[in-house]
Homo-oligomer: A and B are copies of this chain.
Amino acid sequence: MRSTDRPSDAGTDPLDGASATRARIRDAAVLRFARDGFTVGLRQIAEDAGVTAPLIVHYFGSKDGLRAACDTHVLAMIREAKGKALVPNDTNALLMSLASVEESAPLVGYALRSLQAGGRLARDFVDQFAADAEVYIAEAVAAGEMRPSRDEKARARYLTVQGLGALLLDVTLNPPAEPTDLLAMIDGYMQRMALPTVEIFTDGLLTNRRMLDAYLLYVGDPPPGGDGSETPQS
């Protein structure tokens, strides 16, 4: 049934002859994984791509191979898109500007699924964002816009994990029906969180330095790393 219509009907594809099918399968998989999670069956992905399940195995070896290919592709695409994005101050703002490109919205959905599931891509993804945040924060500190921290690396990671984790949790609690709604979801999330974020970032939360002083007294100089064995109150 599907074997007669050639992939040439997808007119925008540059490569028509050889293994554009491979890319078509990969793209369909990214979309499906983003939409339904990683438990979706190969047959469903195959149907989306207009092929059959064994062909996916033929190209990618196994379902895990397909996942790995998707991971690599998504990470590369996001890495590339991040270079293009102007003023990627905030993690969430970046994700949103990324999701609003409409073409790369599935990438964001896939990345969120990946964060939800864990694994290598998730770790790379967070590490990459934390590293980016670190240089951005360093610039802001140098420009006198942000206060310096006693442990810049830890603060960059803190802000990244907090931002990504909160977004992930919010998306998990209010899952969008369609990946198209993901943009609206992230947008609504940012609207709800904007005021508390800016408030705390501007004035802080506490009225005195007791907690900070107690913590600084409790541990030594922070940058050296894991020295204290017990846990202070946060």
The reply on A190 being an interface residue by CB < 8 A is: yes
Closest to A126 in B: B173
Would you give the shortest CB distance from A88 to chain B, in whole angstroms?
Answer: 12
Would you give the shortest CB distance from A228 to chain B, in whole angstroms?
Answer: 7
**Interface size class, chain A:** 35 or more
The reply on A17 being an interface residue by CB < 8 A is: no
Q: Is the CB of B197 within 8 A of A158?
A: yes
The reply on A192 being an interface residue by CB < 8 A is: yes
Contact of A122 among B92, B173, B202, B209 (CB under 8 A): B173
Contact of A145 among B168, B173, B208 (CB under 8 A): B208
Known: A118-B173, A126-B169, A158-B166. 9 other contacts (CB 8 A): A93-B233, A155-B200, A165-B169, A168-B168, A191-B228, A199-B212, A201-B206, A202-B204, A202-B206
Interface residues of A (CB under 8 A from B): 39, 89-90, 92-93, 96, 115-118, 122-123, 126, 144-147, 149-151, 154-155, 157-159, 161-162, 164-170, 172-173, 175, 187, 190-209, 211-212, 215, 219, 222, 226, 228, 231-234
